[in-house]
Amino acid sequence: MSASSPVLRLEGLSVFITGATDDIGIQAVRGFLGHGCRVTAHDLHMVEPSLFGPPNNRLHIISGNVADEDAIRSCIDSAQQKFGPISILIVNARIGEEYNDSPIWETPLEHWERSYRINVRGSFLAIKHFLRAAREAKHARGAELPNLAIVVIGTEHGEVGEAENMRPSGPGALNCRLIQQVKKDIVLLDRNARINAIDIGQLDKPSSERQLGGLMRPCAQTQAISPVETIARAGSSIGNVITYLASHHAASHLSGICLQASRSEEGRVIWREDMIIVATGIGTKDHALIGTEQSCNISVPVLTTKKPKIRIALSIDLDAVSGWLGTGTHPDNVLADYSAGFFAAKVGVPRLLKLLKKLKVADKCTWFIPGHSAESFKEEVSQVVQSGCEIGLHGYAHEGAYQLTLEQERDVLEKCIAISTALTGKRPVGYRAPLYQIRESTLGLLEEYGFEYDASLTDHDCYPFFAPRRPPLKAIDFSQPASSWMHPIPEKIGPHGDRRPLVEVPCNWYMEDMTPMQFLPHTPNSQGYVDVRVVEQLWKDRFLWLWQNEEEPIFPLLMHPDTSGMAHVIGMIERMITWLKSWGPEVEFCQTREIARHFREKNLDRNEHTRNCAQCLGYNKF
């Protein structure tokens, strides 16, 4: 059996291809066979298997009218009986081009109607019965099908080029409303399922491979969506474009787009928000254009070389009941509120541990544990320690620094150091302030007690930095003369500038689970009813932007067993971590202390605690 490229990971999947006997269909069949798929080649008439290459027991040829509902249903049933549930549907609807050189007033009605039946009706019926079969297979299996995807190939605009050269096409399969409707519906069967389209326009059939060199560029470069080298390395045929768009691993976040090419070798990706991304052979190789019909084009970099890896910083704050005692204290807290804390420890922790072990990252993350949680839920916390993770401090009762006197703050830190040391056999080196409520005195204590890093501040969102050393910023008293408060932040304080040797590993409100996805009755900023898919896509969008635009960034992802342990959230967490892992050598999962130590080693002078001010802030890359 042929092995699928690690870029695509399609081996063993069942694929159904309509319109399999024209040049595009033949390339699609050969492409999927080359990736180890089991392919059903469908067309109106039976053809010789030799059309698709050497004999292959993974090829099933079937005939039927795609515009006849009973016929297409029967063909899909036949394909499933031969190869099992179908994961990928390729709808090749490029019929009716023989009259495109004629003006519309000379186009016979029967030609137009034939195109409609094949391109529009046929595409609808193929998609309908493919998805119906996928739904039935899901119910029978009790699980989602792998890599559920649809790619529609057809024409929408005729030839793209000079206005005077454009000719009318027949009714095209690339109906924007149909694509967008299917995009919304298909996720009801599988949250990761997708549909995309390729508008071939009026490319000359004999030269489609040459012309689609332009089509490959936006797919591979301007989007920068794959964690591997661009698909242009695999060749420039339309078959490669089709298999690429069909692959969840390669095109993991694309859905509802239309990729367009023309004789001018110009490629366009047309988004549902009417944004287009253009890649053209004219100009430099290092830039592409992004714009809309209403706006000017903006030049942005295009990725043409392999990017350095991203370090993934998974961390879990085990707040449990303590979250309701410190920063979450409220006179109206009741037994039901505290009960949510017991859920976090008794249910959320085991669920998260099981998931992290399943994904083989349990020993590559950091748990920040309040002293109250460590002493109250000894069995669960012991399981966390045994997973091989790093343990950091997180206050005692999840108290904010501004709730404490300076003496209390010191006492709490000493108590928590003792608890953690007894628990793990070694002193903790990391700290995260409860609810990020850290103050200057906290940083001083962490430095005094030999901590290596804190993970509470947001001076940057993807690079570590050295913690600030400056007096507290005071709120302005607007009752006083303006001259009394119009002063900048001091540039330097002390011999080492305004930075400490304590490393800050950034966190971010937008990279945590609790605020959007957990309802806390007496917390003003709690939401709790945000769809997990919204948060998942936000996290992916941040990762993709960092991967494209930053050099060796970190990607912090903060969870709570209170939130991520809930049944409707933990599935999304599994998808997200699995997606991150799918980037292979492009990413590395690290404990937070590993990230801090790596940054320190690259940014500390041999004979000084820190480099001077600006360089210490530096956000220096790994």
Residue type, 450: G
Other Cβ atoms less than 10 A from the Cβ of 109: the count is: 7
Backbone angles phi, psi at 81, to 5 degrees: -65, -35
> Is the residue at 229 inside a domain?
yes
What SS3 class is residue 328?
A: coil
CA distance 323 to 399: 8
pLDDT tens string 255-293: 888 776 544 444 444 433 333 333 333 233 333 332 333
> Hey, which residues does 278 pair with through a beta bridge?
268, 289
Which among 301, 276, 304, 303 is positioned nearest to 290, based on CA atoms?
276
Range of the domain at 230: 14-301
Do both 326 and 250 map to the same domain? no
pLDDT top residue among 432 and 108:
432
Do both 450 and 552 map to the same domain? yes
DSSP element (H, E) containing 25: helix 23-34
**pLDDT class of 605 with cuts at 50, 70, 90:** low
Do both 502 and 611 map to the same domain? yes
What SS3 class is residue 36?
A: coil
Do both 242 and 387 map to the same domain? no
Query: Structure pTM?
Result: 0.55
Which among 443, 489, 463, 471 is positioned nearest to 549, based on CA atoms?
463
* Buried-state track 419-446, b at ≥16 Cβ within 10 A, e below 16: bbeebeeeebbbbbbbbbbbeeebbbbb
Q: Is the pLDDT of residue 67 over 50?
A: yes
C-alpha distances out from residue 36 to 3, 32, 51, 242, Å: 5, 7, 18, 15
What domain count does the chain have? 2
> Is the residue at 480 inside a domain?
no
CATH number, domain of 355, equals: 3.20.20.370
pLDDT tens string 448-461: 999 999 999 999 99
DSSP 158: S
> Is the residue at 485 inside a domain?
no
Locus of tokens 């016979």 = 108
Do both 258 and 346 map to the same domain? no
Do both 279 and 387 map to the same domain? no
pLDDT tens string 144-174: 899 999 999 886 544 333 333 334 444 444 5
Do both 295 and 331 map to the same domain? no
Cα of 331 vs its chain's centroid, Å: 40
Locus of tokens 């023309």 = 262
pLDDT tens string 170-189: 444 456 778 888 998 898 88
pLDDT tens string 490-508: 776 655 567 898 999 998 8
Q: Which residue, 301, 329, 360, sits at the end of a domain?
A: 301
> Hey, which residues does 352 pair with through a beta bridge?
none
CA distance 215 to 238: 8
CA distance 273 to 260: 16
Q: Which residue, 246, 267, 301, sits at the end of a domain?
A: 301
Q: Which residue, 248, 274, 301, sits at the end of a domain?
A: 301
CATH number, domain of 220, equals: 3.40.50.720
Do both 242 and 263 map to the same domain? yes
> Is the residue at 487 inside a domain?
no
> Is the residue at 55 inside a domain?
yes
User: Taking all residues of the chain, what is their mean pLDDT, rounded to a whole number?
Assistant: 80
87 Ramachandran zone, left/alpha/beta (phi>0; psi -120 to 50): alpha
> Is the residue at 3 inside a domain?
no
